[in-house]
């Protein structure tokens, strides 16, 4: 892995955007010397590289772990920048493989009125955003340069003294384990344990949430049935009141009916039938005046004949 470019923006002494190109056209010149007086940002530059590569995991190599990662970043945001400004560390690397892929890793934080936002990590491969690489950056960088041996590669004169003061045997042992890939196995075991715990919690939460949903559905169904029952009771009460009202009205009408000669009203049909029968008989027995007049000449004729005889 070759670091080709470092971009630091609003981090520590590096207020504004600062770009350092470490790529050299002459492949034989592989060393870039960065000099400066004390307090001019050499250590900050080195810390930015380690932070860009390892993020939160690099905190124990950068300083005392008594403060959190967010507090560390907030303490290293350049002083005097306005809210809405961005703090950014961007590294461009060249992989030492046949393809020579160009990898860019960018970590950024936005300053707001109450502090800083959560970290945003984006990785690019050959200029194109790589979501898989962004999501698995920690595993990717561990394959290239494990964090446990990074201090043997990234150090200045101040950190050399710290390395010398450490127990050299333990440091060398850890470095050898990292180079042989043992730390990757240890990390894998640790990650598997975390994933197992996470999935166990997830299953328990899903089961609990499923039971809670079922309970809520049952309670809602009970409330719906109760509401329908209350509505039915109200309808029944309304019907009972209506029936009572109709009964009272019927009794009043019956009383008025009998008071107004209700017995005659009941016999009306019978009387009408008798009337029709009498009218029919009367019609059959009636002699109309015209019939009598037509019969009168005949009667006189008969009388005359009788007298002549």
Q: What is the DSSP code string of 35-69? A: ---TTSSHHHHHHHHHHHHHGGGGHHHHS-TTS-H
Last-in-domain residue among 104, 130, 145 = 145
The answer as to whether 196 is a domain residue is no
13: nearest Cα among 83, 104, 76: 76
CA-based end-to-end distance of the chain: 171
Judge whether 239 lies within some domain: yes
Rg (CA), the chain: 55
pLDDT given for residue 182 in this prediction = 65
Give the residue among 127, 132, 151, 130 at the shortest CA–CA distance from 53: 151
User: Quick one: which H or E segment has residue 17?
Assistant: strand 14-21
Domain assignment of residue 172, yes or no: no
How far apart CA 224 and CA 212 sit, in angstroms, is 18
CATH code of the domain covering residue 137: 3.40.50.300
Whether 16 and 124 map to the same domain: the answer is yes
Q: Over the stretch 176-218, which tens digit does the pLDDT of each residue have? A: 666 666 666 777 777 788 888 887 777 777 777 777 788 888 8
Check whether residue 120 and residue 18 sit in a common domain. yes
Tell me, yes or no, whether 14 and 85 share the same domain: yes
**Among candidate residues 128, 145, 162, the one where a domain is terminated:** 145
Same domain, yes or no: 114 and 41: yes
Longest dimension (CA), the chain: 187
CA 94 to chain centre: 40
Q: Is residue 170 part of a domain?
A: no
pLDDT at 158 exceeding the cut of 70: no
Q: Report pTM.
A: 0.56
Q: Please indicate, yes or no, whether residues 221 and 115 belong to a single structural domain of this protein.
A: no
- Give residue-wise pLDDT tens across range 112-139: 888 888 999 999 999 999 999 999 999 8
Within a domain: residue 98? yes
Q: Does residue 182 fall inside a structural domain?
A: no
Average pLDDT over residues 47-60: 91
Dihedral angle computed from the Cα positions of residues 60, 149, 38 and 85, in that order, rounded to the nearest 10 degrees: -60
Distance CA(20)–CA(35), nearest Å, equals 13
For every residue of 102-115, which 3-state class applies, written as one string?
A: EEEEEEEEEECCCC
Same domain, 10 and 113: yes
pLDDT tens track for 12-38 = 999 999 999 988 778 777 788 888 888
Residues 19 and 117 in one domain: yes
- Look at the chain and report how many structural domains it folds into: 2
Residues 8 and 110 in one domain: yes
Find all residues with CB under 8 Å of 2, minimum gap 6, and list them. 23, 93, 94, 96
**3-state SS assignment for residue 238:** helix
Enumerate the H helices of the chain as residue ranges. Answer: 42-54, 59-62, 69-76, 131-135, 137-144, 157-165, 168-179, 182-259, 262-285, 289-308
Residues 226, 115, single domain; the answer is: no
Are 58 and 132 within one domain?
Answer: yes
What pLDDT is stored for residue 87 in this prediction?
A: 95
pLDDT digits (tens, 9 = 90+) for 285-303: 655 555 544 555 554 444 4
Say if 185 falls within a structural domain.
Answer: no
Last residue of a domain, one of 145, 161, 183: 145
Burial category of 146 from C-beta neighbours within 10 Å (exposed 0-12, middle 13-18, buried 19 and up)? buried
DSSP string, 83-131: TT-EEEEEEEEE-SSSS--EEEEEEEEEB-SSSBPPPEEEEEETTEE-H
Mind listing the pLDDT tens digit for each residue in 250-260?
A: 888 777 776 76
| Tokens representing residue 265 in the block | 């009203």
* Domain membership flag for residue 184: no
Together in a domain, 219 and 141: no
Note down the domain range covering 74. 2-145
């Amino acid at each position: 892995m070759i670091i080709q470019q470092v971009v630091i923006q609003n981090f520590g002494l590096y207020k504004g955007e600062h770009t350092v190109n470490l790529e050299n056209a002459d492949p034989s010149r592989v060393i870039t010397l960065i000099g400066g007086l004390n307090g001019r940002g050499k250590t900050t530059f080195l810390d930015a590289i380690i932070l860009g590569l390892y993020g939160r995991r690099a905190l124990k190599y950068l300083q005392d772990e008594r403060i959190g990662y967010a507090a560390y970043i907030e303490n290293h945001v350049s002083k005097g920048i306005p809210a809405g400004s961005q703090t950014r560390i961007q590294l461009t690397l060249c992989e030492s493989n046949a393809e020579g892929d160009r990898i860019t890793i960018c970590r950024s934080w936005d300053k707001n009125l109450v502090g800083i936002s959560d970290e945003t990590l984006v990785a690019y491969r050959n200029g194109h955003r790589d979501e898989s690489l962004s999501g698995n950056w920690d595993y990717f960088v561990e394959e290239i340069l494990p964090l446990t041996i990074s201090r043997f590669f990234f150090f200045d004169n101040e950190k050399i003294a710290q390395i010398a003061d450490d127990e050299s045997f333990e440091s060398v042992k850890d470095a050898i384990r990292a180079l042989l890939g043992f730390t990757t196995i240890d990390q894998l075991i640790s990650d598997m344990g975390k994933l197992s715990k996470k999935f166990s919690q997830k299953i328990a939460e899903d089961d609990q949430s499923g039971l809670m949903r079922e309970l809520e559905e049952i309670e809602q169904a009970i409330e719906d049935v109760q509401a329908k029952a209350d509505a039915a009771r109200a309808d029944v009460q309304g019907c009972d009141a209506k029936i009572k009202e109709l009964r009272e009205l019927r009794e009043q009408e019956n009383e008025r009916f009998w008071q107004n000669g209700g017995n005659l009203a009941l016999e009306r049909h019978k009387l009408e039938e008798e009337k029709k029968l009498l009218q029919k008989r009367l019609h059959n027995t009636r002699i109309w005046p015209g019939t009598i007049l037509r019969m009168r000449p005949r009667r006189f004729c008969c009388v005359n004949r009788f007298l002549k005889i």
